[in-house]
Structure 1
Amino acid sequence: MKNDTMEGKWKQFKGEAQKQWGNLTDDDYDQAQGDREKMIGKIQERHGKTRDVAEREYDDWYSRTGQY
């Protein structure tokens, strides 16, 4: 599934993302709308992770959830 498809189905995937990154707020998710770069930035900001770690986490999560 392409990232643009993830954006189109974001409401479906938002619940899964909330399980993965509980420290992100509803507003964070609404601002990101499934956009990879925005989500990585939010993960970095709220969880205090490096860009590399945030990218890996997002990509791992996406590979699991993007298969729906």
Structure 2
Amino acid sequence: MNEEQFKGKWNIAKGKLKQQYGNLTEDDLTYAEGKSDELLGRIQEKTGESKEKLRKMINDI
């Protein structure tokens, strides 16, 4: 997967995460792009979901 494909998939994932968890902001989702553990931690903090569930959700998207 090239960088443009990754960015496209990430934008889709961000949109779906914001739809499912309305309290996530654009800042939350761009805060740690490229730092997946920090990003997952931030999403987990806002949603209360486990990191494993969030990883699966993002991979499924």
Same fold (TM > 0.5): yes
1:56 aligned residue: 52
Runs (4+) of structure 1 exceeding 4 A deviation are none
1:28 aligned residue: 28
Q: CA deviation at 1:63?
A: 2.6
Uncovered stretches (5+) of structure 2, i.e. residues with no partner = none
User: In structure 2, do the counterparts of structure 1 residues 56 and 20 end up closer, same or farther at CA, with 3 Å as the change threshold?
Assistant: farther
Overall identity of the aligned pairs, in %: 32
Uncovered stretches (5+) of structure 1, i.e. residues with no partner = none
User: In structure 2, do the counterparts of structure 1 residues 34 and 57 end up closer, same or farther at CA, with 3 Å as the change threshold?
Assistant: farther
Distance (whole Å) between structure 1 residues aligned to residue 57 and residue 26 of structure 2: 18
1:38 equivalenced with 2:34 (yes/no) = no
Q: CA deviation at 1:37?
A: 0.8
1:18 aligned residue: 18
How many residues align structurally?
A: 56
TM-score in terms of structure 1 length: 0.55
Higher relative contact order (CA 8 A, sep 6+): 1
